[in-house]
A and B are shown apart, each in its own frame.
Chain A
Amino acid sequence: MKKSELELISRGLDGDLSPDERVRLEALRTREPEARTVERQWTVLGDTLRHDQVAAPDATVAWQDIQRAIRQQAGDAGSASTGGWMVRFRWAAGLAVLVVGTVLGLSAWRVLDGRTPVWVMTDPVESPANRVEWVVAEIPGATTMIYTDTETDMTVIWLDVAQNVDPRDS
């Protein structure tokens, strides 16, 4: 049988045929014994599915469970809106405790180790490597000058060589 004929039978079982299609289906039944077989078998399958039902849980008990779930979710939703700030506050408080605890712990460890705690180290020593104090220029008659450029804040080393001295003489 053609697919279109089988579809016609399927739609006929579902009552989804136009008057013309019903005439076509009737003609098919008369002409094709296989069409009658298919129609009967599909009817049996549908009937079997309809009659093979399972026992649902008691509807009254089920409603009580549903009601509980509805109320629980409503409660959760309510507490979620007010609890949002609480959750954020708890996280912030936890983070603060962690930071303070870390500083105190490190300081205690330094004290026990015989060193200055972190919070006592208020006047760190400036590194001498950052300051140019003098420059050696092995050029006869040369003079040096060290100053900080006010625009760029860079340290400038100025080397002034006398014009009548040949550097190759050094």
Chain B
Amino acid sequence: MNKPEPPSSNPPDMEEPDSLEIDRLIALARRGDETAFGQVVQVYYNRVYNVIYRVVNHAEDARELSQAAWVKAWQRLADYKEEARFYTWVYRIAVNTALDFLRRKKRRPEDPLEPVVRDGAEPIALDTRRELADERTPLDDLHRAEIRAAFDRALLDLSAEHRTALVLRELEGMSYEEIARVMKVRTGTVMSRLFYARKTLQQALGKFL
């Protein structure tokens, strides 16, 4: 089996240090160094937030859940096994926090047209989200808000588990094994969820593709 080639992922909040530097910061954090942990948080914050946002589809919930996930990560640092990749471990906490939240609420995520709100800034209209990306999307013809909303809705029509698998694969470029570890399922289940998610999205958005 070939190792999947990760797609280009989100730009991190700050330049991502090499894994040795991350390991050093984590070792310090495990000894109680909050500053070192803060540096790790700032490296991965944006990516963790985006994954959680895509799972719950609500800006404020995503902000609170991100915070809760990082607090849990700090409290459970002693449980982190260094042979696992740190980001896989953090994503596991983040995804479980988001999925638990959805199960607790037992409701569908919020209206996908809800604007994204940045702390202390004006809300960002859905239309302008794409402008945050470095390059134009392959769906360049679909920049009307209603079509973007259709994409969001189709994504939300997936179960939280299917959506999470797709987000971890496409947004984070995780391998089947990594997704399986994060979601605590078998790799066969990951493969099946990704296949189903793609097929369902394709059926929902066929006329736009």
Contacts and interface: CB of A to CB of B under 8 A. Distances in A.
B133 interface: yes
Given A6-B199, A54-B116, 14 more contacts: A14-B194, A45-B209, A46-B7, A48-B138, A49-B166, A50-B170, A51-B133, A52-B137, A53-B50, A53-B171, A57-B49, A62-B45, A62-B67, A66-B71
Interface string B131-164: 0110111110010000010010001000000000
| Interface bin, chain B | 35 or more
Q: Give the interface size bracket for A toward B.
A: 35 or more
A150 interface: no
Interface of B: 1-5, 7-10, 13-14, 34, 38, 41-42, 45-46, 49-50, 53-54, 59, 62-63, 66-68, 70-71, 74-75, 116, 118-120, 124, 129-130, 132-133, 135-139, 142, 148, 151, 155, 166-167, 169-171, 175-176, 191-192, 194-195, 198-199, 201-202, 205-206, 209
Contacts, number: 154
Interface of A: 6-7, 10-11, 13-18, 38, 41-63, 65-67, 69-70, 73
A45 B67 contact: no
Contact of A60 (B42, B68, B175, B205): B42
A51 B130 contact: yes
A11 to B, nearest CB: 6
Nearest 3 CB-CB pairings of A with B = A15-B4, A59-B13, A56-B49
